[in-house]
Structure formats: structure tokens, C-alpha cells
Amino acid sequence: MIHRPRRLRTSPAMRELVADVTLSPSNLMLPLFVREGIESPREIDGMPGVLQHTEKSFLSVLDEAIEAGIASVMFFAVPEVRDELGSHACTPDGILARVIRLAREHVGDKLVLVADLCLDEFTDHGHCGVLDLRGQVDNDATLIHYVSMACALAEAGADLLGTSGMMDGQVGAIRSGLDSQGYVNTGILAYAAKYASNFYGPFRNAVESQLSGDRKTYQQDFRRTKEGAEEILLDLEEGADMVMVKPALAYMDVLTQAAQLSSKPVAAYVVSGEYSMVEAASAQGVIQREATVFELLFALKRAGANIICTYWALEFALKLKEQS
């Protein structure tokens, strides 16, 4: 027998020698939720171990992230007051802008601060844009609000804006709006391939979503194969600095495609439902939790992700640091 691939699997040392996929804490992006008006952190239903933070408690998490070697944090904010236009998303003193400003003052340049740029947390109907007279999301009217929100978040100190709304032309409009106001160094992390997924359920608890119905008219259909590539290329053409695939685990084929198409960094978001499934299975004792999470994170890196946005970021960054 000439070919014996098992020779390179004979011991832990041998497997370590030939491994060609590496993972470091800096590859992990930590999502954080900050809730306006609460006095203490509270756990999110369906997301064990994940909290809604106060405007003070989240700062200590940033310190932990820096200590663990994490390089980036993505912020989501939950306001007390919502309206049909999501107005509080676009004001310099809105909850998300305040959080970014507090974070910047606290960490300086030690973390890349990413602000979620979308209206869904701020609208009383839960959609990612403003509605027309028929109750449908008005794409072009929404872009005007996105530009206002982008400038408010850039002024507050965001390094990257996570454009998650999936409006046509959003990256180009936001890039133009930022540049016209002098925010030429504020980058765009484009949610280029974001699907109308069933895995988002627990996240809606995290942001207390008011959504009735679905977002299938603007988020992508999971039954299509070429649309993801089209959206990725469009966002790159419009000036995206990074592109993201969301969800991550159920869309590794799209992630690999993104890595092949993009000369810019590629991110993947392990969404709430994916996280919760692993946590539920491990709680039932049917999988080994730590080994499974590591397997999934390495699989995403192998599939092409430079950055993995995950609720496991802090815990597993510390584990990676301990192993190094």
C-alpha cells in the first residue's frame, strides 16, 4: 500500500504539525446588547449566558475582551422609545450613539468598535426600514435614514458600521454620505449575504423586536444559489471594506463563495438560533460542548471566514489564549 494518509494523524503532535487552519482570539468578534433604562444586566430568553447590559455594565465586558485578546466588538442597542421612523437611531444622543461614545472613551483604540446600522431595533413595527403607505418597506426612503444614522454613529466614534438592513444600494449611499461629511476613515462591514432565516428567533428577544410578519422582501431567499454572490459583488463595488455572511453555520457554501470572490476580509455571524441549538444539545448531554464549539469555529475559519462574530467569543478567546 503506497498511500497511507493516517501517517499524518498518528499523534497529537503530528496532527498539530500538519494542521493548516489556525484560530486566534483576534479572529473572534463579540456581539454586545445594551438596553436603555435597565438598572442591572439581565439574561436573554433563549440565549443562555448572553445578557442585555446596562450603559455601565457593558464597559467591564470590554475590559475582559481586551484581556482575552479580542480585537472587535459589535454593538446592538435597545431603546426605551420607538416610533414608525426609528428616529432614535439617527440622533447623536440616541442609545446606540451613546454606547459607542462611552466605549470609545473607555477603550481608546484598543478595540475595533462596530455599530449595527439598522432601524429594526428602533421602529415600532420592527422592520429594518421605513414603511410606505401600503405598509411595505420603502427602500429609497430608508437609505436617507441609514445615512443619517451612519453619520451619527461615525461622529460617536464607530470604526465600522455593520449594514444589516439589506436595502438595495445601502453601502453606496452610506459610503457617499459618510464621505460628504468627512468621515472618510469610518469603514463599512456589509452584511452582503444575509438570509431570511429561521435561526434569528432568540435574537429578537435580545432586541425586544416588535416585528409582525417577516422580512422576506428584503433579506435573501435561502433557496437561491447565485443571489449571494451577486449581493457580495454589489457591496464590494459600492465600497464595502468587509463583507459578512449571516447566518454562518447553515451557509458555509456561501461563506466559501464569499472568500473566493472578495479581496476584502470576510466575516461570518453565528446567529442566535445556531448558538442556542448547540447550547441546548450540550445541556441535554448529547454533544460535548467545548469540543463542538471549537469544531464549528475552526470549520468557519476553514470555509473562509477571517472574522467570526459569535456569542462564544469571550469564553473561547480565553480558551485559545490559554492554549497558546
Going by the DSSP 8-state scheme, the letter that residue 5 receives in this structure is G
- Cell 497511507 belongs to 4
Could you give the domains of the chain? 25-323 (3.20.20.70)
pLDDT in tens, 239-265: 999 999 999 999 999 999 999 999 999
pLDDT in tens, 200-250: 988 888 888 888 778 999 999 999 989 999 999 999 999 999 999 999 999
Distance CA 299, CA 253 (A): 11
56 is catalytic: no
pLDDT at 58 over 90: yes
- At 49 the pLDDT is 94
Sign of the CA dihedral running 30, 36, 41, 46? negative
Q: Among 194, 216, 226, 264, which one carries the catalytic annotation?
A: 194
Spatial CA neighbour of 60 closest among 27, 97, 24, 32: 32
Sign of the CA dihedral running 101, 318, 116, 21? positive
Q: How far is CA 238 from CA 41, 78, 170, 189, 262, in A?
A: 39, 29, 9, 12, 13
Confidence of residue 181 (pLDDT cuts 50, 70, 90): very high
246 is catalytic: yes
Average predicted confidence (pLDDT) for the chain: 96
Strands (E), 104-254: 112-117, 160-163, 187-194, 242-246
Q: Among 246, 301, 319, 321, which one carries the catalytic annotation?
A: 246
Q: What is the mean pLDDT of residues 60-77?
A: 98
Distance CA 255, CA 261 (A): 10
Distance CA 225, CA 11 (A): 40
Alpha helices in 27-132 (DSSP H): 57-68, 95-107
- At 302 the pLDDT is 98
The DSSP bridge partners found for residue 209 are none
Query: 3-class SS at 104?
Result: helix
Distance CA 71, CA 119 (A): 26
Q: What is the mean pLDDT of residues 2-16?
A: 94
Q: What are phi and psi of 135, to 5 degrees?
A: 85, 15
**Residues above pLDDT 70, as percent of the chain:** 100
pLDDT in tens, 267-278: 999 999 999 999
Distance CA 220, CA 83 (A): 26
Residue 137 · residue 97 · CB < 8 Å = no
